[in-house]
Structures are given as structure tokens and as C-alpha cells.
Amino acid sequence: MTKPITKTPNSTPSAEDTFLWLEDRTAKQSLDWVHGQNEVTTGELQGDPSYQASFQTALDLMTAEDNIAVGAAIAGHVYNFWQDKTNVLGLWRRTTVASYKTEKPDWETIIDFDQLAAKDGIKWVFSGASRLYPDFNLCLVSMSPDGGDASEMREFDIETKSFVKDGFHARASKSGFSWLDKDTVIVSAAFEEADKTQSGYPRVVKLWKRGTKLEDATPIFEAQKEDLAVGAAVEFDGDRRYLILARTLDFFASHIFLRLPSGENRRLPLPDDMTDTAIFRDQLVFGVRSLWTAPDGTSCKPDGLYSLDLAHWIETGTLGLVETLLEPAYRVSIAGIARTQDRLFINLMDNVRGNVVVCEREEGGWSLKPVGLPENGNVGISHAEHFGSSVSFSFTDFLTPSSIIWSDDNGETLATVKSQPARFDASPLISEQFEARSKDGTMIPYFVVRRRDQKGPVPTLLYGYGGFEVPLLPGYAGVRGRLWLEKGNAYVQACIRGGGEFGPAWHQAALKGNRQNAFDDFAAVAQDVVKRGIATAASLGIQGGSNGGLLTGVSLTQHPELFGAVIIEVPLLDMLRYTELPPGASWMAEYGDPSKPEDAKWLSAYSPYQHVNAGAAYPPVLLTTSTADDRVHPGHARKMAARLQEAGHARTLFFEETEGGHGGRGDRRPQAAQTAMKYVFLQRALNGGS
């Protein structure tokens, strides 16, 4: 591989960090370096004979007209955001519930973002809309100019298909907007520095009256500068309307307030680590991340659900009786809760397999029963109609195309209304679940998808994440099937600690100073895959993004001997400076604070950027990021690539997309190109290793 020429600008870089200049996101010298790197990487990977066909396959599948149009029902309509080859930036559209259930629904376009982009000269990326109760025609539409998290807001009228003249409008920021009433918008503001937390998120909640300037909006609630963010929302429960205010201390702790008619913001006396909340039939339903004893003596445990009489608390200021709605069970965790008008649904994971329980509240008590959904796969709640009785569920696994199962009667009657066609031949494949013993003896589950008749080691891709309570669940991926599995390769998905596969305790086992557990788990899975003969170390590639990019970065520097290729996507890699790159400070509850000596000790023990070793035998590496990523700064990936290359690791490739943000939103073509390049990279690196 050709080593790109790295030129350092004339400015004097930090003595400790010779590549600090690459943190300047849009400086000419940084972008010149990026363009030089991109030229080498695209020349090598897009120049491969297999690239063009892989790109076309990825693009065809990402933009296929028979992909499932996933939607949510509101007041008789199903709303959906859709992208295909013709509608590159996408359509926000709707159809009636009856039409949605047909094979070819009659869609009504609300906003055509390609048309809007042509008119405005900006490649708008749809970021969602807040609709006004009860007719839901007036919307606060959020649109990102580059695919990042910062979005512009404009008021839109669905009936007239037009933006409201002199309506609510705010420039791009990380602010949040929702309706209080037709003439009042709740703004979680992050415009000026005074409005922002140190993480760059909203710090102040304001009420903005129609016809007034945004800067004149009335503050009603604020957080501390060092908090993560504030948020606000209106919640309806029958005829009751609640204005909920949240002071989010960090990723896993919040103080929740209700704004009372008197103007008082009264805090709910519940633990900071409350989770999975819903208001249903005058009850506040909640879970906890750690053991909490309620004032009435009720023991509230992680992975359980509990409820209290919210109306009683508002009236008296005391919590009263706390009821147990769902008892915790071994290796069963709560994936989420959602409600229709009359029922509450709990999405559970039982040993990383999904199911849903439906709850009713009658005569002051709870009754629960399972929803009759398919078993042994990944079941999720697609939508639950807050003001109606429709609810839909998704079902998938590694070898079963996704489907949408719909009910108009609160889950009583179920019908499969959408099924994605098969994208690859799954008949010769098998999906299995194994366990690996980690360094401390903990058993780590992982999934393997491979040919049933596999005789010896094959090129294998191991994927992991392991952070922020996010679970990795079985799921059908047509692109992976076509570009990887159909070629006789294997895929492995590791359920390491730090994720949410088994509830809060599984996450907390890799929190802060315990982070090494997640890295050890991943290494243990890699070794187990080799021990079972699925792959050799030389034929085993790894991939991870964001926190998963940190995982693969650490895996590269700690265990280069275990892998034949490493893909590091939109990563955190300089853990001693991550809080200096917005919004890095928001993750201190996950990783720790490098400005504190105790935290810096464990962070420096694994931070990949500081552990690049010129003498190590690293496998080929591909790092990817986006200039527009305003969640994980592109400086992490840039600096790591530069340091690896400087240390003589010439098999290091770097690619930076110029748009799309952290999740690669927007135009599917660059997404398809990057996906194809990754599979070309893996195939080239691992083919000689089996």
C-alpha cells in the first residue's frame, strides 16, 4: 500500500501531540491532508476489480423500492420517511392506515427534500417533526444542512403542504422544539454560549410565543453548565396534559420535574438513575438502574418496572404506594416501553431474544399477558399510537427478512402487513449462539452466521459495540448477506459488557474504570471463534463504529496478533482529549474525566492514540469518519491514522466523507460507496488468511 505524504503546517504543534492541528475540522491544511488520504484510499479500494459491482449491489439494496416503508400511525394516517434512487434526499410522506396495509399504498408527499434542496441550494437532511395535538397538521420540522446533529427548524402546515409564512423559524443548532399549544413553542435552547452546557447541548428551556422574537422567549427552567442537557415535552394521558422538564445530569442520571399550573417546577422524588418511564392511566411507570427502596418500603430493582399514582403526588406532594408492575428475571432486560391510549407495551429481551408483554390497568391493579409474536428472533415495537389503538411490531433475525406485524386493537389481533423480500440466499446458512469465557470468568454470548457445511476456517467479520447500554441484537442485513455471507464468509456479533443486552448491570460492568472488561470480552470472543475453527487470527477481521470504533482501536493496539484486519468507524481514539472535542464532555459518565488524575490513569491505560507502537506488527487498518460529524469529532480518526502512518504502519488507510454526520444520513450513494470499500478492504486483507 502506498503511504500518503503527511505535511505538517508551519504552526508549532503541541509537544505531546504532533497531530493536534488535525483537530481543526475545516482548516485548509487539515482538509488538504484529508483529500490526500482520500485519494490514496479510493484509488486503492475503489480501484479494486470487485469494487464497482459491490457498490452497485449496496446502492441497489439501500434504495430498493421494495424495502419496507416503516411508519407510525397518527389520527388515521401512517407517516414515513422514504429514500430511493429517484428521491435521493427523501420524501416525508403519509398514507391512510387502510392503504398502508396494501401491497402498494397510495402515498401523499408532505415534503420532497430533493425539491426543497434544489430550491434552497442546501442538501437538507430530514431530522424529524413535532406535530401539534389534536389534529397534527401543524409541524415543527427539523432539517440538517449537512447531516449533522445541528438542525434548522421551520413551521410547516401539512394541509397546505407549505411552510407557514412568518411562522416559527430558528437557525441551525442543537436546540429542541415541541408544541405547548398552537401559539406557544417549548424551546430547549442551544443557540448562544450562555444557552449551552459544556457539552454543547441545550441548557435553558424557554416558552416562545407566536409573533415574538426567539431571543425574547421566556426562560422557565435551566440546568447547570456542567450538566449534559435539559429537555422538555408535553405528555398526554387521557384528558390530562403534563409539561415535563428534565435536567439531564449525564447519560444515566436525570432530575425530572413537572411544571404545575401555578408555575412551580416540582421535582419528582425518584432516584437519579430512573429509566424506562411512561405516564399511563394516572400512573407514572418507571424502572431503575440500581436498587432503590421507595418511601413505602417497596424494593425497586434493576430490570423491573414499578408504578406510582402521579395524580396523588401532584395533589398531595407525597409518593404514596409504589406498585410492582414487572419483577426482574435472570438475563431478561427491558428494551423499551410504549403505550397506546388503552394499553402499555413492554419490549423485553430474554438472552438477546425479543418478546413483548401487554399491560392493562383495571380497578387499581396491573394485569400482564404476552403478545402472540414470533419467537427466537429480534422483536421490537415499531410504533404505538398514543391517541389510538394501533400498534405495530418488527420481527427479524440474521437469516429472516424483516417484517411488520400490525394490530388495530391494542395487540389482540395481529397481521403481517409488510415483509421485506429475501436479499440473499440464506438456505445454506445457519445462525448459532455461543459463549466465550472472558478474562475474569464471565461468560460472553455471541452469535455466528456461517455456512452450515463449513469445513475449515474462512474469512470472518467480528462486530462489536459494548457501551452506553446499547444492545446488539440479531438483525437481517441484505448488504452483508450479498457482499459477505454469500461469498462463503462468516459473520460474528459479540454481546460484550458495556452494552444493554442484559440490563444495567451488564452495562455497569464496563463503566469508567471497568472499561477494560469490554475489551477483554471482545478479545475472548475472537479467541473462541478461532478455537472453534470458524476462523484463524489471520482470517478474522473486526469492525465497530463510534464507541465501537474505540473498541476496535483498543483491540488493534492491545491485541494486534488476534486479527487480520481492523475497521475503525467514526471513532473515539484520543481518550485523554475527548472531553476537549465537543460534545465529548457529555460522555464522562461512561468513560470518566481525563482532567481527574484517577480517571486519567485508567483512560491512559487503554487510550489507543497514546498506545500506537512503531515496533508492533499491526494488521491492515481502515479508519473512516465524516467532516460533518458533530457528535464524535473527526479529529480522533484523523490523528490516529496520521500517527499510525508516522510510526511506519503503511497498511493504514483513512477515508473521510464530507457530509452525512455521525450516522451517515442523507444521500445513500456515499453510504453505498463507503460500505463497498469496507467489504473490498476486508476481502483483500483476509482472503489469504484462511
Please give the pLDDT value at position 352. Answer: 85
CA–CA dist 610, 616 (Å, integer) = 14
- Unique residue bearing C-alpha cell 398552537: 182
CA–CA dist 678, 311 (Å, integer) = 54
Please give the pLDDT value at position 663. Answer: 65
**pLDDT beyond 70 at 37:** yes
Quote the DSSP letter at residue 86.
Answer: S
Cell reading at 459: 474469512
Q: What is the mean pLDDT of residues 320-331?
A: 94
**pLDDT beyond 90 at 3:** no
**Residue pair 624/570 in contact by the 8 Å Cβ criterion:** yes
Please give the pLDDT value at position 283. Answer: 96
Q: What is the residue extent of each domain of the chain?
A: 26-60+435-687, 273-328, 332-421
**Which position among 390, 407, 546, 555 bears the catalytic label?**
546
Local structure of 94: helix, strand or coil: strand
Please count the helices (runs of H) and the strands (runs of E) in the chain: 13, 39
Q: What is the mean pLDDT of residues 179-191?
A: 97
CA–CA dist 646, 6 (Å, integer) = 8
pLDDT per residue over 64-101, tens digit each? 999 999 999 999 999 999 999 999 999 999 999 999 99
Q: At what angle do helices 28-45 and 668-686 cross, to 10 degrees?
A: 60
- Unique residue bearing C-alpha cell 429517484: 86
**pLDDT beyond 60 at 690:** no
**What does the angle CA 31 – CA 35 – CA 40 come to, to the nearest 5 degrees?**
150
Neighbours of 497 (CB within 10 A): 27
Please give the pLDDT value at position 7. Answer: 36
pLDDT per residue over 609-630, tens digit each? 999 999 999 999 999 999 988 8
Please give the pLDDT value at position 1. Answer: 40
Which residues lie below 8 Å from residue 401, measured CB to CB, with a gap of 6+?
419, 420, 421, 422, 423, 476, 478
DSSP letters for 473-486: -----HHHHHHTGG
| Residue 276, Ramachandran bin (φ over 0: left; ψ between -120 and 50: alpha; else beta) | left
**pLDDT beyond 60 at 5:** no
pLDDT per residue over 208-249, tens digit each? 999 999 999 999 999 999 999 999 999 999 989 999 999 999
pLDDT per residue over 663-686, tens digit each? 667 788 999 999 999 999 999 999
**Residue pair 546/603 in contact by the 8 Å Cβ criterion:** no
CATH among 3.90.870.20, 3.40.50.620, 3.40.50.1820, 3.90.1170.50 for 26-60+435-687:
3.40.50.1820
Please give the pLDDT value at position 198. Answer: 92
pLDDT band at 661; cut points 50, 70, 90: low
The yes-or-no answer on residue 312 being catalytic is no
Neighbours of 384 (CB within 10 A): 25
Amino acid at 457: P
Using alpha carbons, select from 417, 420, 429 the residue that is nearest to residue 392: 417
pTM for this entry: 0.92
Mean per-residue pLDDT of the chain? 94
Which residues lie below 8 Å from residue 687, measured CB to CB, with a gap of 6+?
459
pLDDT per residue over 240-296, tens digit each? 999 999 999 999 999 999 999 999 999 999 999 999 899 999 999 999 999 999 999
The yes-or-no answer on residue 546 being catalytic is yes
Please give the pLDDT value at position 662. Answer: 61
**pLDDT beyond 50 at 2:** no
**In sequence order, what E strands does 223-352 have?**
229-237, 240-250, 253-259, 265-267, 274-280, 283-288, 292-293, 299-300, 305-309, 322-326, 332-339, 344-350
Amino acid at 667: D
pLDDT band at 543; cut points 50, 70, 90: very high
- By percentage, how much of the chain surpasses pLDDT 70? 97
Sheet holding 305-309, edge to edge: 274-280, 283-288, 305-309, 322-326
**pLDDT beyond 60 at 4:** no
Neighbours of 209 (CB within 10 A): 14
Characterize the bridge pairing of strands 299-300 and 218-222.
unpaired
Q: What is the mean pLDDT of residues 584-613?
A: 96
CA–CA dist 652, 645 (Å, integer) = 6
**In sequence order, what E strands does 351-440 have?**
353-362, 365-370, 378-384, 391-396, 403-407, 415-419, 429-437
Please give the pLDDT value at position 10. Answer: 32
Q: At what angle do helices 547-558 and 635-646 cross, to 10 degrees?
A: 20
> Could you check whether the bond before residue 421 is cis, i.e. omega within 30 degrees of 0?
no
Which residues lie below 8 Å from residue 333, measured CB to CB, with a gap of 6+?
303, 348, 349, 471, 500, 501, 502, 503, 506
**Residue pair 506/483 in contact by the 8 Å Cβ criterion:** no
DSSP letters for 136-203: --EEEEEEESSSSS-EEEEEEETTTTEEPTT--EEEEES-EEEEEETTEEEEEE-SSGGGB-TTSSB-
Cα-based distances in Å from 569 to 62, 98, 106, 560, 629 = 19, 41, 38, 17, 12
* Element spanning 371, H or E: none
Q: What is the mean pLDDT of residues 624-640?
A: 94
**pLDDT beyond 50 at 13:** no
pLDDT per residue over 363-413, tens digit each? 889 999 999 999 888 999 999 999 999 999 999 999 999 999 999 999 999
pLDDT per residue over 501-533, tens digit each? 998 999 999 999 999 999 999 999 999 999 999
Sheet holding 540-545, edge to edge: 429-437, 443-451, 490-494, 460-463, 540-545, 565-569, 621-626, 652-657
Q: At what angle do helices 547-558 and 516-531 cross, to 10 degrees?
A: 70
**Residue pair 256/246 in contact by the 8 Å Cβ criterion:** yes
Please give the pLDDT value at position 631. Answer: 87
CA–CA dist 614, 645 (Å, integer) = 9
Please give the pLDDT value at position 689. Answer: 59
CA–CA dist 91, 108 (Å, integer) = 10
Amino acid at 120: D
Please give the pLDDT value at position 666. Answer: 73
Local structure of 501: helix, strand or coil: coil
Which residues lie below 8 Å from residue 214, measured CB to CB, with a gap of 6+?
170, 187, 191, 208
Please give the pLDDT value at position 6. Answer: 37
Neighbours of 255 (CB within 10 A): 17
Cell reading at 442: 464471565
**pLDDT beyond 60 at 576:** yes
